[in-house]
Amino acid sequence: MNVEVFEAWSADDLAKIGLIRQDGAIAIDIAPDANIYHMTVGAQIAAGRQDARAMTFEGVDGSLQNWTFGEIDAQASALASELRARGYGRGDLIGLHTGMRPETAIAHMAVCKLGATAVTLSQLYGPDALAHAMNHSEARCLLSVEGAWAPLRAEAATLFPHLTDVFVSGTTGDEPDLTVILNTPAADDFTPDYTGADDPALLMYTSGSTGMPKGILHGHRVLASYRPSISLFFDLSMHDEDAVFWSPSDWAWVGGLLDMLFPAWLAGRPVVTSEARFKAAWVYDFMARHKITHTFLAPTAIKRLAETAQPRDEYDLSLRVICTGGEALAAETLAWAENNLKVVCNEFYGMTEVNHLIGNCAALYPRRPGSMGVAYPGHDVRLVDADGNDVADGEQGEIVTPNTAPTRYLGYLKNAEKDAELRLGDFMRTNDLAVRDADGYFWYKGRSDDLIKSSGFRIGPAEIEECLLAHPSVAEAGVIGKPDADRGSIVKAFIRLSVGAIGDDALIAELKTHVRERLAPYKAPREIAFVTDFEMTSSGKINRRALRASETA
């Protein structure tokens, strides 16, 4: 399907979305000296667009602040200069714990200018999850904001033994104030470091089916490799003169950062951000006020918006395109988006390790409700059986792609064993099951491992089990994803109590709070059941497959 669409395109048309013809095939154009800063803000400065609006921040009090590309560039240089003066540069890891705020976007540009690597840290992380990421990465520098850092300040030395420098925006402590640094011009013009496409740019911690979250390294190639698929799932309209981008998705993860913030600046268009919590009425009002045209929303977020039957009757919306991924999009949700919200809604598929493999573009080919779409150009996507053999159309198989896939990660940090688990000969495994029809459309069928996908989040059961086991009332814990119509799956925990513990509603509430505060709110079990014993596997582990089967029996 994708080959048929693009075969007739001229070289100039292909180049507009980052594609080339190579050895007779359509391929993704990735410059050997790729750098995320030079592809985004740097490109806008080079094009003379330093006075164009780059970002708007709406405070929770309704106040507005705007930045031009020139101002972003100057503040990034100021921060990069300060970091370089303190000895940070190529290869160093800089933790970004600044949330959905301008400091995060500016800091990413500063880190890219340094040739360093940004460790993306969600403010949803509790102290245990944050400490794991910082200590595993051995990052010596952290950028934060007072509201997020204040609860950690007293125990920081214990939580983060590798930490040398902390910069805090709006600090009430002894740390250097990040806001002051950003607004103090660099003494000299900052000369950026030049990177290669495979030099590390981002370290993202994401959950797997076993153990604690894994650190996934991406090189600067990642944005160039995403460019064609970004162009397609934004329906070839991201360069529209009036395009304005926004997403509620956290900038610590792929959806908010690589599917929204960086693409907006790749296109030279403004992004709007806010720390406000997601509520449908607020979202509609926000999008109307800021004339948002393009957004990334997880299917769960779209479902929440769909509770307003006819939003166009209530709000003056400019919204034209929603791209969505992270979980399957129900056919009825797609129908509501098209018929009631009156937007193009393009679903796409991938994972943090190797993304944007499959997807839709309504401007080029018809979508089929319930389908993930077709293989995006430049990607070889196959379905295989347990032995790695291709399966026929109409048969279920695991989605795999070559180890040389253009959107591939650089590897897991300090975890070659986990890298090896993803290898199936010359291919990368996804552990996602699908069926492909005769026209090349893929239909998602579920996971082949224990990873939980809930509301667009990837949640590893092992880390929740470990957290629950730290509670004195818990002797054993097993965690699974329970199918849910709204969220795709919800986290359900099964608990065998310690001697003397009482399994009542009070303990259920206490355990949920325990996980919410130590890990993250989205990882807290929505359901907890008490059991007297667990079925075990031959290796002595709790049999999660049996737990899942008990939910469908």
pLDDT digits (tens, 9 = 90+) for 193-208: 889 999 999 999 987 6
Tokens 């009036």 found at: 242
User: 35-49+70-219 adopts what CATH topology?
Assistant: Rossmann fold (3.40.50)
Mean pLDDT over 237-245 rounds to 98
pLDDT at 449: 78
2 falls in which pLDDT band (50, 70, 90)?
low
For residues 482 and 493, the answer to whether their CB atoms sit within 8 Å is no
pLDDT at 230: 98
- Interatomic CA distance for residues 95 and 65, integer angstroms: 24
Based on C-alpha coordinates, what's the Rg of the chain? 23
pLDDT at 209 over 70: no
pLDDT at 543: 87
pLDDT at 136 over 90: yes
pLDDT, tens digit, 9 for 90 and up, residues 339-384: 999 999 999 999 999 999 999 999 999 999 989 999 999 999 999 9
- Interatomic CA distance for residues 120 and 252, integer angstroms: 5
pLDDT, tens digit, 9 for 90 and up, residues 211-233: 788 999 999 999 999 999 999 99
Tell me the HSE value of 397 on the side-chain side, using a 13 A CA sphere: 22
User: Does 452-552 carry CATH code 3.30.300.30?
Assistant: yes
pLDDT at 386: 87
Beta bridge partners of 495: 477, 530
pLDDT, tens digit, 9 for 90 and up, residues 419-474: 999 999 999 999 999 999 999 999 998 778 788 989 988 888 878 998 998 899 99
Nearest to 493 by CA among 457, 533, 464: 464
The torsion defined by the Cα of 276, 282, 284 and 289, in degrees rounded to 10, comes to: -70
pLDDT at 368: 94
Domain chopping of the chain, boundaries: 35-49+70-219, 452-552
Q: Which residue has the higher pLDDT, 286 or 188?
A: 286
DSSP string, 453-520: EETTEEE-HHHHHHHHHTSTTEEEEEEEEEEETTTEEEEEEEEEEPTT---SHHHHHHHHHHHHHHT-
Residue type at position 187? A
- Interatomic CA distance for residues 393 and 438, integer angstroms: 6
- Interatomic CA distance for residues 300 and 278, integer angstroms: 11
Distant-in-sequence, close-in-space partners of 216: CB < 8 Å, separation ≥ 6: 203, 204, 205, 206, 352, 353, 409, 412, 413
- Interatomic CA distance for residues 243 and 251, integer angstroms: 20
For residues 354 and 376, the answer to whether their CB atoms sit within 8 Å is no
pTM equals 0.88
Give the pairing of strands 396-402 and 382-384: antiparallel
Other residues' Cβ atoms within 10 Å of the Cβ of residue 191: 11
